[in-house]
């Protein structure tokens, strides 16, 4: 597990009030590097929007929206923003940015969290708001979609077709994703001290640095032990499990690099066109556990580190086998027609009227 440090590129790009918020989100709240990056991207879009509506000379011809700098956006722009302004911003995201409901919901949530911070004692006095103008801003309701995942045979193909100079490391990464359902940040943050071969467990730090214990099967134990035998020594990250072998100092693998490893191996297996990511491998693990292991949703919730079982229950909708079994278990499933019943009365009476018309 590493200590959070705000990226230098964010420090250079962000005004002080945004840099302070991102640092707070990562170091105090315990948001992952990927979540902090999402906050940065979402609020950067918001600040660019503020500049575009405040300055008439900023338009798509002179300065493209994606090139608007945010470093010097005055805090007064943020302070003067109202709930009615937020509605206009939502329209901008729909009409100008063509954002989906899901994307707008995420950006709205990011913005509300940002203003929650500014309106609290956690924010420095110089950047503190008396109240949160977006407290009553409703989140767009995202469309309910089922997550993508690999079928069992596709998962086997992925593991069987690993091709890499760092075969044991990359095979181990895929094995843990597919068997344990770890989040990307959780896998990247694994330390050697988190692994207990005797107890057959991994200690994992999830969202908000919440600790949980994940039990390992034979495939995971074998993959971890094989990789750890060839794992190089690291000066920069001596306790990290997964290390970069491209650099002489063997640093901890970043989440971006792990994403690339997964993408490369999906392409090797001919599965690169399915829209699968490390997070989709988490969905795959959960689906396979539920469908083939008959794992109770409450147990699956603890395995995945979900706060609510309602989040886990989406996997109960993914199993075609369960839906088929449910229909076939009906006590009427064996009933069959006995043939034509010549004594049955016609639906219509003699004058052509149905009984309901009489």
Burial annotation 188-221 (CB, 10 A radius, 16+ → b, else e): bbbbeebbeeeeeebbbbbbeeeeeebebeeebe
| Cα 259 from Cα 105, distance rounded (Å) | 24
Note whether 275 and 228 are within 8 A (CB). Answer: no
Question: Which residues are CB-neighbours of 199 under 8 A, at least 6 positions away?
Answer: none
**Which tokens in the block code for residue 320?**
């075609």
| Cα 45 from Cα 66, distance rounded (Å) | 8
Which segments of the chain are extended strands (E)? 195-196, 201-205, 211-215
3-class SS at 292? helix
**Which tokens in the block code for residue 122?**
């956690």
Q: Which residues are catalytic?
A: 183, 207, 279, 282, 306, 315
Q: How many residues make up the chain in this entry? A: 358
- Residue 89: closest CA among 49, 48, 36, 131: 49
**Which tokens in the block code for residue 56?**
């008439």
| Cα 47 from Cα 311, distance rounded (Å) | 32
Please, what is the end-to-end C-alpha distance for the chain in angstroms?
Answer: 79
């Amino acid at each position: 597990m590493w200590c959070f440090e705000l990226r230098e590129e964010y420090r250079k790009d962000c005004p002080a009030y945004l840099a302070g918020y991102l640092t707070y989100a990562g170091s105090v709240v315990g948001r992952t590097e990927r979540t902090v990056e999402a906050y940065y991207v979402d609020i950067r879009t918001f600040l660019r929007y503020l500049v575009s509506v405040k300055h008439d000379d900023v338009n798509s011809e002179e300065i493209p929206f994606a090139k608007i700098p945010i470093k010097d956006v005055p805090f007064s722009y943020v302070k003067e923003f109202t709930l009615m302004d937020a509605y206009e911003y939502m329209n901008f995201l729909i009409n100008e940015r063509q954002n989906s409901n899901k994307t707008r919901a995420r950006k709205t949530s990011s913005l509300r969290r940002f203003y929650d911070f500014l309106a609290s004692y956690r924010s420095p006095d110089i950047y503190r708001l008396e109240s949160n103008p977006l407290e009553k801003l409703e989140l767009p309701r995202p469309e309910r979609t089922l997550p993508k995942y690999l079928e069992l045979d596709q998962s086997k193909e992925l593991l069987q077709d690993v091709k890499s100079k760092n075969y044991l490391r990359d095979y181990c990464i895929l094995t843990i994703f597919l068997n344990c359902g770890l989040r990307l940040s959780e896998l990247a943050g694994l330390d050697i001290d988190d692994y207990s071969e005797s107890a057959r467990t991994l200690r994992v730090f999830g969202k908000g640095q919440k600790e949980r214990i994940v039990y390992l099967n034979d495939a995971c134990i074998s993959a971890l032990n094989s990789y750890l035998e060839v794992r190089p020594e690291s000066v920069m990250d001596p306790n990290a499990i997964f290390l970069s072998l491209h650099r002489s100092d063997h640093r901890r693998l970043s989440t971006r690099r792990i994403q690339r490893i997964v993408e490369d191996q999906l392409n090797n297996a001919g599965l690169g066109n399915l829209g699968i990511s490390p997070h989709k491998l988490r969905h795959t693990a959960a689906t396979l556990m539920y469908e083939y292991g008959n794992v109770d949703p409450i147990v699956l919730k603890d395995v995945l580190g979900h706060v609510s079982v309602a989040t886990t229950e989406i996997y109960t909708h993914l199993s075609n086998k369960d839906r088929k079994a449910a229909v076939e278990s009906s006590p009427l499933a064996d009933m069959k027609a006995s043939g034509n019943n010549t004594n049955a009365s016609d639906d219509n009476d003699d004058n052509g009227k149905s009984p309901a018309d009489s």
